[in-house]
Structure 1
Amino acid sequence: LNAIVLFTYSYSPSFLVLLILIFIAGISSTTFHPATYSLIAMKSSEEHLTKSMAIHQFGGFFGGAIGTALVAFLASFLGWR
């Protein structure tokens, strides 16, 4: 669901519709972390559990930082629309 909503960002006809889509994406992405934490706990050995959780956490924060910087860079050249 989140991927579909993120894809429709570029087709939003107004800023209000974009805000509604962002809200829906936020709600749909809240299901990601509890599910992945459970999967990591089930699939990782106890010896590697903390490292697996740390890599997962780092990836999320790193992706958010890179994504924010990339969007700011692209928006300065391409504009909002």
Structure 2
Amino acid sequence: MGLVLFTLPLLYLAWGVIGYLIFKKVYVVLMITFITSTIFIFAYTGFDMSNMYWVGVVTFLCMCTTVITKIIRDVYYRYKRA
């Protein structure tokens, strides 16, 4: 249970930053996150649909870090040009 509660959310938080720096698109990172988290949850719980809320939680966490990374990157480049 520690895998689902702690390890995967932390990995997806880091993935939000790294994925945005690689792809430069928020929606690409969120699609990859949604697909992989769905696979991990189904593989870990044995296709139990009652744990699908974790997919939403993990995707939301990843979206937060991706948007924050986008804002920081945009502000950085704006001040770098000035």
Which has the larger helix fraction? 2
Question: Which bin holds the TM-score, normalised by the shorter protein?
Answer: 0.3 to 0.5
Q: TM-score if structure 1 supplies the norm length?
A: 0.46
Structure with higher Rg: it is 1
